[in-house]
Structure 1
Amino acid sequence: MPAPADPGAPGVGLPEDWPAALAQLDADGRVLAANRAWREQPGLPARVAVQPGAEALTVWHLLPEGVCWALDVQPAAHGGWWCTALRTSAPPRPAPGGFSSRFESELRYWTIFHASSSPILLVGEEGQILEANPAATGLYCYPRELMLQMELAQLMPACPSPARLFATQPETLPAGLHLRQGAESFMAEVTLSYVRLRGVLMAVVLVRDVHEAHLRAALEQHQQRELAHAARLIHAGEMASALAHELNQPLTAIRNFSGVVQRRLEQMGDAARTVREPVQMIAEQALRAGEIVHRIRGFVRKGVPVTAPLNLNEVVRDVIRFNEADARAHGVEIQVLLAEDLPRLNADRLQLEQAISNLVRNGIESMLELPGQRLLRISSSLTVDQQLELRVSDQGGGLAPALAHDPFAPFVTTKPHGMGLGLAICRTIIENHGGRIWVANNSARGCTFCFSLPLPTA
């Protein structure tokens, strides 16, 4: 059916009552206006692959269900095209010597294109999307009609420019970010090849979703780094144990010799009074250093947990003595509010010391960048349900968002050089003793770590 007289202005004079589907196209093949018959057909494209400078051409448009449209395209005076669509369920029989082989080839191509499980896009020389198969529309979550109005760069922000896209040989682009509808991003690889249909050069963009593989590779790299860090920590622990063993003898000698000096000074009477106090301090510090070495060896010593009746407040005081030098060095004041006459509990002393020490050190480190007063409050109490409860409250920046879901998860940390095992170890120790541990942000600033332990049954 011939096109109507060209009125010049797009959309003007379109015969609404024509039985044939008729549309006006711009110079690039986009539909500018269409009559009722065209609009009522759901399978007609929003863009037709036209060839600039052609007198007339027929474009075959195959739908996935096997319906074929013959699109008769003719030049229009307004610089675009007239397009008449004819629906057919089978390809027309060409005359002898015609284009049967080309048509059949195109028909097979379109059949494979729509049936492929791999996402495929056809892209024009200006970067516009000319066609998308069902796998591509499913991957990007856009309807086909909307994708045919988009540029490739809207799906691939880092895609090459149209000039570079068509200047390269067939190649596979490295994995990059792609965007689904709703701005959801994912990683995908792209393989480029080229095809010419009815004289129109198109880029065939084959997309492969590698997002899950990319996440697995990133996770494996992270775990390898953490395992390497753990290996270094194990080595450092072995060195610390060996060093503690070697330091034990000279520290014992210092204590013995300082005792000899003290006894000699006692014999000298008041003449040695000014020297007696420094020597006494030397002896006390040597004894304290010996206790530290003993604790280090206890931390790294192998063996099964040994539970025994102990006083929670005594364990807390020992931990504070162990960390008081670090607290003073960082200007942190430790306030102790321990309830008196607490009943004894059965626990492994070394493990409990380790859990409390981790919480105290976390509290100190959370306030390193805090101006003004830095206060760490440690309190113990007996709850109404006969549980011993310990609270360690700091004035730091509070619980980081990255830890909000599960603060005690292993390998999760906000410290630049942290491994994310301290709180996980605390939870394991407390839960192995039948207790529970939790954390909450304070009303003003900072957060409070709490754990409760059950009392032994009668």
Structure 2
Amino acid sequence: MTDKPRTTHVPLNELDEQGRKLHFRSILDSVPDAMIVTDESGVMLAFSRAAEALFGYTQQEMLGQPVNVLMAGRDRANHDNYIGNYMTTGKRQIIGIGRVVMAAKADGTLFPIDLKIGEARIGEHFLFTAFIRDLTEQQRAELRIQEMQSELVHFSRLSAVGTMASALAHELNQPLTAVANYLEASRDLLDSPDPETKEILREALSEAARQAVRAGEIVRKLRSYVSRGEVDMRTVHLRPLLLDAIALSRISRDHADIPVNLELAVADQRVQADPIQVQQVVINLIRNAMDAMDGVDDARIRVRTLSPDEAGFVAIDVCDNGPGLPAEMKEAIFKPFATTKSQGMGLGLSICQTIVEAHGGEIRAITPPEGGTCFRFTLRADTGKT
């Protein structure tokens, strides 16, 4: 009986240089996501097979080239700034964190990618490894879902408006009919000026006034119900909610390459909120900020949370470095039909205010010392107590 051949296992750290190169090459050929290795100056040292398929360049074309040739718009300049800032300050803006950015294929096609970067220090030098995933199909699916949700919401609103209009007509019909009848009777009684007729006239006019007040009360209650709305309050983790809102705000936007930084005062902050409604507030504020910075070269947006205050509320800021709000708009910005956009209806911020106030919070516009505009709204912190 012959013995089976014995397999010798060689630890990775004992491979010779040629072995390590072959091992690294096998990784580049088999890793499913696009993988690119650069030095601290941004020059590409390795370009995986998946990266070739994704971008349409060959490895030979890319080695020695600056990695920013694969970026698009503001992200091209921002990528170098992130690396340079990290090398000088050690502050991480993308390294080890990840970000959704816009990239460019060899044929000029722009597409969104999920970019994650790791670092390795070798002596006095750094190597950065980027892992890249194409988000085109994911964002198309998200956009379609969002469109379907919008269509459903629109249909639901139309149905609700129809039902509300029918109910309003029914409720108002009785007092308004009574007002008309009393006024007609009063008009007829004016032709008989005797004391008894005057007393009947006074009663008819008083009843008409009472029915008019009743009609006004019906409208007031309806307005109160509409402005208050219904809030599905629950415990919500802020970080995933805000990350989703940032991602959704980039879908199908002309300014989707504007970087949006998220800063959390408390990593696992929880609030009491209706997540769908609060996301709508954040998306609206981010999109407003994007529109406000049209033409700003170094445009950037910061979404940050503050620690809970003494009253138990968490503040969320959405800040931009745009030209700021005109002074005359600061007081009126939350009123319906008040807008700084040529094509805007001026309802977005009014709806945001309604949502925030329905949560028991408040929203306001702030001009920070460094310029630009911040919109700050508050939500009640979740303490975990019942």
TM-score (norm 2): 0.42
TM-score (norm 1): 0.36
For the pair shown, the structure with the greater C-alpha radius of gyration is 1
- Structure (1/2) with the larger strand percentage: 1
Structure with more relative contact order (C-alpha pairs < 8 Å, separation 6 or more): 2
